[in-house]
Amino acid sequence: MTNHKKTKKVLKKQLTPSQRFGSLLMPLAACLAIAGLIYTVWTFQSAHAAKPRAIKYSISITDIGFRPSTMQGETGVPIKIHVKNLGTKEHNFVLPGYFIFSPNLHAGESTDIEFTPDKKGIFPFYSDTPGNPEPGLQGRLTVR
């Protein structure tokens, strides 16, 4: 008797171009989904990054001066100033180095000022209700 070797023929299935494209589509879709998720997380974190907390001051204007008469700030950090006229005369708040000019405040009136310093230095502020800086009503803002 003779031994017959049985040979198996392995048939390779030929893929059509549309099947080849479909087999690439799933990994591509997964990569795009992951990239989209990374981008979403990154933009969310950027938009909600800790912003510098504002430095707050409450300044009282009397007929003889500002209380306090000095303030400090940092470039890029917002400054909020609540200005109240506790004097008997009309006064205002002028910080010309940052082009800040409050309205004239009658006795008891107040205003709020908010800005973000963008340059370092020492900047004078004053009241100039009569048109010139009033004697004694001066102060300074130091920005580091």
* Chain segment 75-86, per-residue pLDDT in tens: 999 999 999 999
Mean pLDDT, the chain, integer: 86
Q: Are 54 and 80 in contact (CB under 8 A)?
A: yes
What pLDDT, on a 0 to 100 scale, did the predictor assign at position 29? 74
Q: Which helix (H) or strand (E) holds 136?
A: none
pLDDT of residue 55: 97
Q: Residue 105: its pLDDT value, please?
A: 97
Segments in the chain below pLDDT 70: 1-13, 15, 18-22, 37, 41-49
The answer to whether the beta carbons of residues 29 and 21 sit under 8 Å apart is: no
At residue 36, the pLDDT reads 73
Instruction: Say how far apart CA 144 and CA 136 lie, in whole Å.
Output: 25
Residues 39, 35: Cα–Cα separation, whole Å: 6
